[in-house]
């Protein structure tokens, strides 16, 4: 279990509120609510001041909220309108004038509700305050991501033993997802991608009923979740035959780029500099145009969170962030290769959290 750090997180948020000139923050992002309070349900609103956390949810989560929050916030259960109850309860949260709201997470209709209904306060779009706190992972958070990543690797190994020519992508995905659950994954953090043949050149392909043919690429992009924290892994294999020389060349380019990036990435580099570690290798081999996405993204309570390892990110990567490293080459009509591992940006250097088992696998 991840150690209880909710009081420290609340205190750190209080400091950010003071720095931003806010008396409180309306929290509507469910991952942020979980980060502050421990509540993992699908419906909740929160108010955070420097002194208090208030959580409003509905009757479906009455027992769950009280058990998970366990004193970290004041829990209010509302059977009709959570928003009306939130506004009512805010009157007891102390003198409030300027309240920030998560402009990146609040729905447009709810933003209108703030100005139309809650006229007693001044509402102000707030920068991503809680996301700033979530950038740096504690040792317990890193351990949870490592456990999820290792679980994912074990599930993949068990799945690949069963893959045969003629199976459909959906059949393979079903086996993989079953293994993830069997080994203890709490959820699938995103829809599992199993893409074969020319469809492996679709970076975010939807798993389909297509049967896998002999000698084709099979790309598997999947995740696991432990204590709420996500892992994200991609492996690409050849099914039913030895790899052709062309396949081997493509694979070795991606593997080499991924290895350089995961070994040389450092906290303090910009997202652009990190992206270039792999991109320069691929471009030098003449396939720069076939690597169209960024190198990676942050991992935590969400499978996609800050920081970004991208050409557009000039900000330094923080110490103790956890990121994916996932270069790829995609050739339309032929197929694609992507290799992805999860890396902790520790102060002393990168620490691989997933198994790093990236040698080419031929399922013959």
In a domain, 130, yes or no: yes
Question: 141 and 127 in one domain?
Answer: no
Q: What was the pLDDT predicted at 120?
A: 82
Question: 147 and 233 in one domain?
Answer: yes
The pLDDT of residue 2 is above 70: no
Question: 341 and 207 in one domain?
Answer: yes
SS (HEC) of the chain: CCCCCHHHHHHHHHHHHHHHCCCEEEECCHHHHHHHHCCCCCCCEEEECCCCEEEEEEHHHHHHHHHHHCCCCEEEEECCCHHHHHHHHHCCCCCCCEEEEECCCCCHHHHHHHHHHCCCCEEEEECCHHHHHHHCCCHHHHHHHHHHHHHHHHHHHHHHCCCCCCCEHHHHHHHHHHHHHHCCCCCCCCCCEEEEHHHHHCCCCCCCCCECCCCEEEEEEEEEEECCEEEEEEEEEEECCCCCHHHHHHHHHHHHHHHHHHHHCCCCCEHHHHHHHHHHHHHHCCCHHHCCCCCEEECCCCCCEEEEECCCCCCECCCCCEEEECCEEEECCCEEEECEEEEEEECCEEEECCCCCCCCCEEC
Question: 125 and 164 in one domain?
Answer: no
Mean pLDDT value of segment 250-275: 98
In a domain, 327, yes or no: yes
Question: 256 and 148 in one domain?
Answer: yes
Could you read off the pLDDT of 185-231 as tens digits, one per residue?
Answer: 999 999 999 999 999 999 999 999 999 999 999 999 999 999 999 99
> What CA–CA distance (Å, rounded) separates 9 from 257?
37
The domain that holds 181 is classified in CATH as 3.90.230.10
In a domain, 27, yes or no: yes
Give every CB contact of residue 360 below 8 A, 6+ residues apart in sequence. 237, 238, 243, 248, 251, 252, 255
Q: What was the pLDDT predicted at 116?
A: 83
Domain residue limits at 32: 6-134
Q: What was the pLDDT predicted at 75?
A: 97
Question: 21 and 124 in one domain?
Answer: yes
In a domain, 195, yes or no: yes
Task: Point out the domain boundary residue: 134, 154, 187.
Answer: 134
Mean of the per-residue pLDDT values for the chain? 96
Question: 109 and 22 in one domain?
Answer: yes
Question: 129 and 169 in one domain?
Answer: no
Mean pLDDT value of segment 79-103: 92
Question: 309 and 244 in one domain?
Answer: yes
Confidence of residue 112 (pLDDT cuts 50, 70, 90): confident
Q: Pick the range with the lowest mean pLDDT from 49-63, 90-104, 282-296, 348-362.
A: 90-104
The domain that holds 125 is classified in CATH as 3.40.350.10
In a domain, 59, yes or no: yes
Q: What was the pLDDT predicted at 176?
A: 98
In a domain, 1, yes or no: no
The pLDDT of residue 118 is above 90: no
Could you read off the pLDDT of 315-347 as tens digits, one per residue?
Answer: 999 999 999 999 999 999 999 999 999 999 999
Task: Point out the domain boundary residue: 88, 117, 134.
Answer: 134
Task: Point out the domain boundary residue: 71, 101, 134.
Answer: 134
Q: What was the pLDDT predicted at 4?
A: 87
Mean pLDDT value of segment 48-77: 96
- Domain count of the fold of the chain: 2
Question: 306 and 186 in one domain?
Answer: yes
Q: Pick the range with the lowest mean pLDDT from 4-8, 13-17, 253-257.
A: 4-8
Question: 170 and 127 in one domain?
Answer: no
In a domain, 357, yes or no: yes
Question: 189 and 283 in one domain?
Answer: yes
The pLDDT of residue 1 is above 60: no
């Amino acid at each position: 279990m991840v150690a209880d750090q909710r009081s420290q997180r609340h205190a750190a948020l209080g400091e950010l509120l003071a720095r931003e000139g806010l008396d409180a923050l309306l929290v509507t992002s469910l991952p942020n609510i979980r980060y502050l309070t421990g509540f993992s349900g699908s419906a909740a609103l929160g108010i955070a001041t420097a002194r208090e956390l208030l959580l409003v949810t509905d009757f479906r989560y009455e027992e769950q909220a009280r058990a998970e929050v366990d004193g970290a916030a004041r829990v209010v259960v509302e059977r009709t309108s959570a928003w009306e109850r939130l506004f009512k309860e805010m009157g007891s949260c102390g003198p409030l004038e300027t309240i920030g709201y998560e402009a990146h997470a609040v729905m447009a209709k709810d933003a209108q509700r703030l100005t139309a209904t809650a006229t007693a306060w001044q509402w102000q779009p707030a920068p991503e305050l809680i996301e700033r706190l979530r950038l740096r992972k504690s040792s317990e958070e890193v351990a949870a991501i490592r456990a999820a990543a290792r679980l994912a690797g074990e599930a993949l190994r068990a799945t690949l033993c069963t893959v045969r020519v003629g199976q459909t992508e959906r059949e393979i995905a079903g086996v993989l997802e079953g293994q993830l659950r069997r080994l203890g994954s709490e959820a699938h953090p995103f829809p599992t991608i199993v893409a074969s043949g020319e469809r492996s050149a679709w970076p975010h392909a939807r798993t389909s009923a297509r049967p896998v043919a002999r000698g084709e690429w099979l790309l598997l992009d999947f995740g696991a979740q432990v204590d709420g924290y996500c892992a994200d892994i991609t492996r690409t294999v050849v099914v039913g035959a030895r790899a052709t020389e062309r396949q081997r060349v493509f694979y070795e380019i991606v593997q080499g780029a991924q290895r350089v990036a995961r070994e040389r990435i450092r906290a303090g580099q910009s997202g652009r500099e990190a992206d270039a570690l792999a991109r320069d290798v691929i471009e030098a081999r003449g396939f720069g145009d076939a690597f169209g996405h960024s190198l990676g993204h942050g991992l935590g309570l969400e499978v996609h969170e800050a920081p970004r390892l991208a050409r557009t990110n000039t900000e330094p990567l923080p110490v103790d962030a956890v990121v994916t490293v996932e270069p790829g080459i995609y050739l339309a009509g032929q197929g694609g290769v992507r290799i992805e591992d999860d890396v902790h940006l520790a102060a002393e250097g990168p620490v691989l959290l997933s198994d790093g088992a990236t040698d080419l696998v031929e399922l013959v």
